[in-house]
Amino acid sequence: MSSSPSSTPRIKKPLFRFFLLLSFSLLVTIAPLVAGQTRPSYHVTPATKWMNDPQRPFFREGEWHLYYLWNSDWNKSDPGSGGTEWYHVTSSDLVQWTARGVAIRKYQPNPPGGAILGDIETGSSVIDTANSAGFGPNAVVTVLTQMQDGALASGPKAVWDAVRTATNPAGGSTVKLAIYVDQSSVEAFVNDEGVTSLSGLIFPNQGAEEIEVVSGGGKLTLTSFSYATS
């Protein structure tokens, strides 16, 4: 009487090789880029120091533009030292990234009064296709919070202040609009009708009914805004 075939399934060699290759590929993918460093392979990380608060990216001229807070002066012995500024990276496929350097620098003079402001905090950028802010069609308008002497900058003259224009290393100009609010979680959105919305806690000074913008080229007063929520 012949013995029955074994009921234990056998893995065919081609299938086994496939799973072996897949496992090896996954191992290579999650391995650190540099031996001894716990850095991911596909996530954006700075070459030195640390990063936090990635800002909402936008797509322009064939590239994704991403900004994050970066502290170039961070000192291990004094963790509270330095201060953050916006670092700029670009990518066409969201996998390979090119470092563009610091886009919004900390400790820069405030144009209207010349006061040296502090570190840059979080915010949001939009492409103003309808020129609703008055800086030209397709200008990149950035709304953010900036510190001054350890406190969020504010004043009796305006809630919005310190408009600065810088040249994008990749080409074109980027308009940066600093907004002084009572906290730093501010987001800007543009809907299909070209209406720009700000979400966050924004308190106009002394119950003002308009938001005033001051720039080196003059003064722009935004009056056509409304509060969607309280």
pLDDT in tens, 161-205: 333 333 344 444 444 444 443 333 444 555 566 555 444 434 444
Q: Distance (Å, rounded) from C-alpha 124 to C-alpha 165?
A: 16
Catalytic pick from 53, 119, 149, 161? 53
Q: Distance (Å, rounded) from C-alpha 23 to C-alpha 16?
A: 11
pLDDT in tens, 75-125: 767 766 678 888 888 899 988 888 888 887 787 765 555 666 677 777 777
Would you put residue 207 in left (φ > 0), alpha (ψ -120 to 50) or beta? left
| DSSP code at position 3 | P
For residue 21, what are the contacts with CB-CB under 8 A and spacing of at least 6? Answer: none
Alpha helices in the chain (DSSP H): 13-30
> Which of 33-37, 99-103, 139-143, 210-214 bottoms out in mean pLDDT, i.e. has the lowest?
210-214
Domain positions in the chain: 45-222
pTM of the prediction? 0.55
Catalytic residue flag (residue 128): no
